[in-house]
Amino acid sequence: MNMDDVARRGLVLLGCGKMGSALLDGWLKGGLPATSVWVLDPSPSDWASGTGVHVNAGMPDNPAVALVAVKPQTMGAALPSMQALGGGGTLFVSVAAGTPLVRFAQTFGEATPVVRTMPNTPAAIGRGISALIGNAAATEAHLALAEALMGAVGQTVRLEEESQMDAVTAVSGSGPAYVFHLIETLAAAGVEQGLAPDLAMALAKATVGGAGQLAEDSPEDPAQLRRNVTSPNGTTQAALEVLMDAATGFPPLLTRAVTAAATRSRELARD
């Protein structure tokens, strides 16, 4: 299976909210014909309706892929509508947080190939990262196709075990919110030191955004990049002595935060 199969046999997108729309936009820009996509959504956006895809107009008999992008709490109502696609001919790709692979097996049967993914919100600007894990019925070709589909909104990585998805959720799924809060608090600290709020926010946004880009693009690891900025006994070292404190700094704080998110992810999967 490849993107040519998707164009020929069709793709069903169940749910076209922010993530579904970002994916659809990426696929269309990548050359997937709009006529190869069937969107099922109770309240489709004007944008989705204007793309030329089929909107709430049934679905093909044997689509190559069914991508599930509904909120986890609506999965119970949404999945049965696609039961006819189970059995092996259609690859299911899920971007629904907290929905384990076994849930799909219960609805569609063990022979149905399913790839579970965890993207994150920077997918909206094509800068996301998605972790993928397949069930026993998912072949290398299925995983490669899921990577191609998720690659429309950013990078992809494969997991070895589904249990790792809770940690992925805590690091990259929830992680953008941690960075947004860093920007908020960095700007607020600048105001404390006498900067105007709009100036402090502009400095904080550009600094975090630029440093993130540098960390992605540089061949040096973040620890070395940190050392490169830090002059002995200078201003950066004074700040890092606070931030890197083993008792009160970033290391214990982020460990507690990521642990809390991963623990909650496990709890939600059991609900």
- The residues that bridge with 37 in the sheet, in sequence order, are 11
Amino acid (one-letter) located at 164? Q
Per-residue confidence at 79, pLDDT binned at 50, 70, 90?
Answer: confident
CA proximity to 113, closest of 139, 95, 80, 147: 139
The residue whose two tokens read 């642990």 is 259
Beta-carbon-side half-sphere exposure of residue 97 (alpha carbons within 13 Å): 20
Tokens of 62: 């044997």
Give, to the nearest 10 degrees, the angle between helix 140-150 and helix 18-29: 100
Q: Which residue has the higher pLDDT, 129 or 76?
A: 129
- Residue 154 near residue 129 (C-beta atoms within 8 A): yes
Q: How far is CA 151 from CA 13, 117, 132, 156, 246, in A?
A: 16, 11, 11, 6, 38
CA dist 262 and 37 (Å) reads 34
CA dist 23 and 2 (Å) reads 17
Average pLDDT of the residues in 69-77: 85
pLDDT recorded at residue 83: 87
pLDDT recorded at residue 98: 84
User: Torsion over CA of 171, 18, 77 and 144, rounded to 10 degrees?
Assistant: -60
- The residues that bridge with 128 in the sheet, in sequence order, are 154
Amino acid (one-letter) located at 238? A
Average pLDDT of the residues in 118-131: 95
Average pLDDT of the residues in 227-233: 96
- Residue 49 near residue 37 (C-beta atoms within 8 A): no
The residue whose two tokens read 């069930």 is 135
Burial class (CB in 10 A: 0-12, 13-18, 19+), 11: buried
Please give the model's pTM, rounded to 2 decimal places. Answer: 0.91
Percent of the chain with pLDDT over 90: 85
pLDDT recorded at residue 271: 67
